[in-house]
Amino acid sequence: MKLVVIGGDAAGMSAASQARKRMGTGELEIVAFERGRFTSYSACGIPYWIGGVVPGLDPLIARRPEAFREAGIDVRTRHEVVAIDLRRREVTARDLEGGGELREGFDQLVYAAGAVPVTPDWARVDAGGVFGVQTLDDGAAVQAWLDRDPAPRRAVVIGGGYVGVEMAEAMVRRGLDVTLLERSPQPMSTVDEDMGERVGKAIRGLGIEVRTRTPVRGLETLDGRVSAVVTPDGALPADIVVLGLGVRPNTALAAESGIPLGVTGGIRTDLRMRVVGPQGHVDGIWAAGDCVQTVHRVSGRPVHVPLGTHANKQGRVAGINIGGGYATFPGVIGTAVTKVCDLEVARTGLTESEAAQAGFEYVTAAVESTNRAGYYPGAVPMVIKMIAERRTGVLLGAQIVGREEAGKRIDALAIAIWNRMPVEEMTALDLSYAPPFSPVWDPVLIAARKATEAVHAAG
């Protein structure tokens, strides 16, 4: 049997590795195509590499192509799959360095092409200094631009989501003057507006100029390089522009080949990561990672949540099943965490707007506390917000904005949401306590108690 994998990062190589683990080279031939130069790397670490927190490129690479080849997986980097023929069961790949095309037949196919940055027409300029940050090759291009002589002095980051705020931090660390532009009322639109307001205030306190409700109309160039970002309020000088406008599933090739897509634009799969169409399963076709649509366990709705954690899990599930085992991917609840300098922002479950769209009636509660006992050195404030279903008190969502040791508390809340815990039950959780780690009443417990009071008050 021959397995062809499209995409050599987290999902694709996890699938290939798991299938190889369960089937020997005499039983299964594996060919993986990757358009870039690297395999199995941490794209999430790129801002920290650019900002100098991570010393160089190598720590971000989990496993190089040579290691996969030694394990019996034929990895072909700098090869882009340009066509899939489901009837003839073959793919066509283009050699991006040597030129020419080749065809490779398959019995099983894993589509793991990831996501691509959202790039508006105004950003498609033939000039240097404008970057998306999706792959290690993108990160290397940013590094090379920052190392130019003379070095860039002014950075404009467009988009206040995870990539945007992380790249804003990286630019600050590199000594640039940074402006962050966001169309929404507040940065970090993945949290509620009241929490986003706290994030915006904290980011401004780091010396970053934040302009909200500010759309971009275009880019100005000079001598083949970007020179300014045009907004309704005028042009902002820029020596480098970073696009952090989000990503969309990289599914154009899948759609052209007849692989069915869901309402989010991602590929539809079942729990085992088999591709599903109107007529049922598409025989021998699997998909995993940032190119797929999954289900939100709280709202029950289809969602596209591109994260490396999900990609690795989904690829592993697909590979186990291809190799003759049995595994499922049960969905997501949207847990995420990020930081800007010493500010930590985390979320899980539903925001208020998402809860309303899903049809829930809900109550909210927000509390201010500290990461440690107030008298212990280094105690700093944090805010935890909870969203609970009005009738049952089941925790629907939670958000945290704080500093050191705040963000990872979201994991306890994620476990509660995953298991549909009522906030009243959470008030008695046996959480750890010692002054260097928590007040005697952990902020999670205080927030749960306040949310319980809100549920009782709502009747």
Domain shared by 355 and 439, yes or no: yes
- Its pTM stands at 0.93
Mean pLDDT of 149-157: 94
Cα angle value 36/38/41 (rounded, 5°): 120
Domain shared by 256 and 156, yes or no: no
> What pLDDT shows up at residue 349?
98
Domain shared by 21 and 160, yes or no: no
Query: Is residue 332 included in any domain, yes or no?
Result: no
Mean pLDDT of 13-40: 95
Domain shared by 253 and 213, yes or no: no
Query: Is residue 407 included in any domain, yes or no?
Result: yes
> What pLDDT shows up at residue 337?
95
Domain shared by 367 and 381, yes or no: yes
Domain shared by 109 and 251, yes or no: yes
Q: Per the structure block, which two tokens stand in for 39?
A: 């395999």
Query: Is residue 331 included in any domain, yes or no?
Result: no
Mean pLDDT of 287-297: 97
Query: Is residue 77 included in any domain, yes or no?
Result: yes
Query: Is residue 215 included in any domain, yes or no?
Result: yes
How many helices and strands in the chain, by DSSP H and E? 12, 26
> What pLDDT shows up at residue 56?
87
The fraction of the chain above a pLDDT of 70, given in percent, is: 100
Average pLDDT, the chain: 95
- The kind and range of the H/E element at 458 are helix 443-458
3-state secondary structure 85-116: ECCCCEEEEEECCCCCEEEEECCEEEECCCEE
Distance CA 186, CA 211 (A): 9
> What pLDDT shows up at residue 278?
83
> What pLDDT shows up at residue 336?
96
* Digit-coded pLDDT (tens) for 300-354: 999 999 999 999 999 999 999 999 999 999 999 999 999 888 899 999 999 999 9
pLDDT band at residue 25 under the 50/70/90 scheme = confident
* Digit-coded pLDDT (tens) for 77-125: 999 999 999 999 999 999 999 999 999 999 999 999 999 999 999 999 9
Query: Is residue 330 included in any domain, yes or no?
Result: no
Query: Is residue 17 included in any domain, yes or no?
Result: yes
> What pLDDT shows up at residue 342?
86
> What pLDDT shows up at residue 378?
92
Within 8 A by CB and 6+ apart from 224, the residues are: 126, 127, 128
Do the beta carbons of residue 164 and residue 244 sit within 8 Å?
A: yes
> What pLDDT shows up at residue 346?
97
Domain shared by 84 and 233, yes or no: no
Which of 291, 322, 353 is a domain's end point? Answer: 322
Partnered with residue 400 across adjacent β-strands are 346, 384
Do the beta carbons of residue 212 and residue 193 sit within 8 Å?
A: no
Domain shared by 28 and 100, yes or no: yes
Mean pLDDT of 356-374: 96
Domain shared by 166 and 56, yes or no: no
pLDDT band at residue 24 under the 50/70/90 scheme = confident
Distances (CA, A) of 245 to 42, 93, 282: 19, 29, 33
Burial of residue 90 (CB within 10 Å: 0-12, 13-18, 19+) is: middle
- The kind and range of the H/E element at 399 are strand 395-402
Distance CA 189, CA 392 (A): 27
> What pLDDT shows up at residue 95?
97
* Digit-coded pLDDT (tens) for 411-455: 999 999 999 999 999 999 999 999 999 999 999 999 999 999 999
Query: Is residue 100 included in any domain, yes or no?
Result: yes
> What pLDDT shows up at residue 459?
79
> What pLDDT shows up at residue 443?
97
Tokens 């190392």 locate to 147
Which of 187, 209, 243 is a domain's end point? Answer: 243
DSSP string, 280-328: EEEEEEEE-STTB-EEBTTT--EE----HHHHHHHHHHHHHHHTT----
Q: Per the structure block, which two tokens stand in for 155?
A: 């950075």
pLDDT band at residue 244 under the 50/70/90 scheme = very high
- Nearest of 303, 347, 300, 393 to residue 192 by alpha carbon: 347
> What pLDDT shows up at residue 277?
87
Mean pLDDT of 378-383: 95
- How many structural domains is the chain composed of? 3
Mean pLDDT of 5-16: 97
Domain shared by 275 and 208, yes or no: no
> What pLDDT shows up at residue 138?
92
Which of 243, 263, 298 is a domain's end point? Answer: 243
Domain shared by 14 and 76, yes or no: yes
* Digit-coded pLDDT (tens) for 255-269: 999 999 999 999 999
Domain residues for the domain of 150 are: 119-243
Do the beta carbons of residue 41 and residue 9 sit within 8 Å?
A: yes
Distances (CA, A) of 162 to 47, 125, 306, 346, 365: 10, 24, 11, 10, 24
> What pLDDT shows up at residue 27?
95
Q: Which residues are catalytic?
A: 44
- Domain harbouring 44, CATH code: 3.50.50.60
> What pLDDT shows up at residue 390?
96
Domain shared by 294 and 185, yes or no: no
